[in-house]
Homo-oligomer: A and B are copies of this chain.
Amino acid sequence: MSSCLGPPPGSPAAVRPREDPRLADRIAVSAAAGRGAWLRTEDVRAWLAERRAAGDFHVARIPFAELDEWRFEEGTGNLVHRSGRFFTVEGLHVVEHDGPYGDGPYREWQQPVIRQPEVGILGILAKEFDGVLHFLMQAKMEPGNRNLLQLSPTVQATRSNYTRAHRGTDVRLLDHFVRPDPDRVIVDVLQSEQGSWFFHKCNRNMIVETAGEVTVPTDFRWLTLGQIAELLHEDDLINMNARSVLSCVPYPDGTRGALHSDTQLLSWFTGERSRHDVLARCVPLAAVRGWKHGVEAIEHEHGRYFRVVAVSVRGSSRERVSWTQPLIEPVGPGVVAFLVREIDGVPHVLVNARAEGGFLDTVELAPTVQCTPGNHAHLPVADRPPFLDTVLGADPSRIRYQAVHSEEGGRFLHARSRYLAVDAAEAPLEAPPGFIWATPAQLRALTRHGHYLNVEARTLLACLNAAATRSREGV
């Protein structure tokens, strides 16, 4: 019987410990399991290729005029779905004061943004096999992925999905997450998504265990945390939603402490939230200044940042075999990196309190570097993002982790970033304004709550967890 079963029905009320005392061990056992009870790690790529071939998917760029269920709304020019559901592309006007107490220098800009004011579910089902927790991953096609299929959570469902607006087949296995068994929830937290491209978007990140039999559909496979850690070292394999959920796995903290106590870290963050004033409001897409509306794209007048484009999707096996939709396409690849160093023998990462126009609340904790270098190429060196040159110029011997990952392929077209952990052993402990050294264990503790780590920091945290797992395994 699994340790997270509650008391049997009808038994007298009893308190339980506030933390499940066995969970940390069970997570550690799964992380140490380089082999799973089902698919071998080295066969995952071949299985994905096989599923890709079976799906027979085709994605093609189309002009906006060929979007069948989407149109530019009269008056606002917003790009909307006929049903009023899914998402809209609107304009965003941002004014950011980021000096001390919000009275410092400020930036102001306008941009298109995706608005999707509903909470989706990103859920991974977990189950013990041979005493080891396995996680059910799906080979899922998303039109924005260059390789189309990647490993996703068991379920990724917008509310439109699970209230059937999609008119496709049921979202499989959804019931484990819509009505989760409280005795079997491992992770359940609302986390933000890209604040540069989404307005106030968050999703429910969940891991729920089951003791029951699960009929595993063709596109799903059980993997251990150790297997997933290995796969997180490969390019374009674990999708963004899976990385986000995996970042919230409550790995045990084996470290002795941190440069700053949790109270100090939270106090610094409170100060950063307090000193930033970010006023962001949606405006009509037609009124966005500095962007050109063409027949195939809405793009920035200087060709920077991203384009809004449209695609058609055809395939044989997804919930809907054929549809069209808008996507956001960044103009170039991104670089997302943590500087890492040991302090007194304990690994730390350099975290940045970053304001993005689409965040619900001013700033979130972001990687040391998070940008599309091409957007800054025209700037004098002094005005380029801090630490970007350190990361781009790092000697290969200093790179502790790197892989290229895709952002959400259901909303973003070929949005790929190189994620890195770069050793900066000699970096000063006094971090510049807006930055602080924190341990991965401290960041993991914060993933229990929403609006602390942004989605890029969560991806890197999942990667750091994976790198730590791999180094313990001696791979």
Contacts and interface: CB of A to CB of B under 8 A. Distances in A.
B190 A274 contact: yes
Contacts of A277: 117-118
A190 B270 contact: yes
B188 A263 contact: yes
Nearest to A253: B18
A268 interface: yes
A292 interface: no
A255 to B, nearest CB: 8
Contacts of A271: 180, 188
Interface in A238-289: 255-264, 266-268, 270-271, 273-274, 277, 279
Please tell me the size bucket of the interface on A.
35 or more
Nearest to A189: B270
B361 A261 contact: no
Contact of A270 (B13, B183, B188): B188
B190 A13 contact: no
Contacts of A178: 101
A103 interface: yes
A261 B20 contact: yes
Interface in A168-209: 178, 180, 182-183, 185-190, 204
A373 interface: no
A189 B262 CA distance: 12
Contacts of A29: none
A98 to B, nearest CB: 13
Contact of A182 (B163, B255, B260, B279): B260
A254 to B, nearest CB: 12
A450 B197 CA distance: 25
A375 interface: no
A345 B442 CA distance: 33
A451 B361 CA distance: 11
A344 B11 CA distance: 12
A27 to B, nearest CB: 13
A429 interface: yes
How many copies the complex holds: the figure is: 2
A258 B18 contact: yes
A258 B159 contact: no
A346 interface: yes
Contacts of A101: 159, 162-163, 178
A15 B188 contact: no
A258 B188 CA distance: 18
A260 B14 CA distance: 10
Nearest to A259: B15
Nearest to A449: B449
Interface string A87-116: 000000000000001110000000000000
Contacts of A472: none
Contacts of A345: 15
Contacts of A343: 13, 15
A447 to B, nearest CB: 11
Contacts of A449: 266, 449
A189 B361 CA distance: 14
Given A15-B259, A258-B18, A267 B188 contact: yes
A282 to B, nearest CB: 10
A190 B273 contact: yes
25 contacts: A15-B256, A15-B257, A15-B258, A15-B345, A16-B257, A16-B258, A16-B261, A18-B258, A18-B442, A19-B262, A101-B159, A101-B163, A102-B118, A102-B159, A103-B163, A180-B271, A182-B260, A183-B264, A185-B264, A188-B266, A188-B271, A189-B266, A190-B273, A204-B274, A266-B449
Given A15-B256, A17-B257, 16 more contacts: A12-B344, A13-B344, A15-B257, A15-B259, A15-B346, A16-B258, A16-B259, A17-B261, A18-B442, A20-B263, A102-B159, A118-B277, A182-B267, A185-B263, A188-B266, A360-B361
Interface of A: 12-20, 101-103, 117-119, 159, 162-163, 178, 180, 182-183, 185-190, 204, 255-264, 266-268, 270-271, 273-274, 277, 279, 343-346, 360-361, 429, 441-442, 448-449, 451
Q: Which 5 A-B pairs have the closest CB atoms?
A: A188-B267, A15-B257, A119-B274, A185-B267, A15-B344
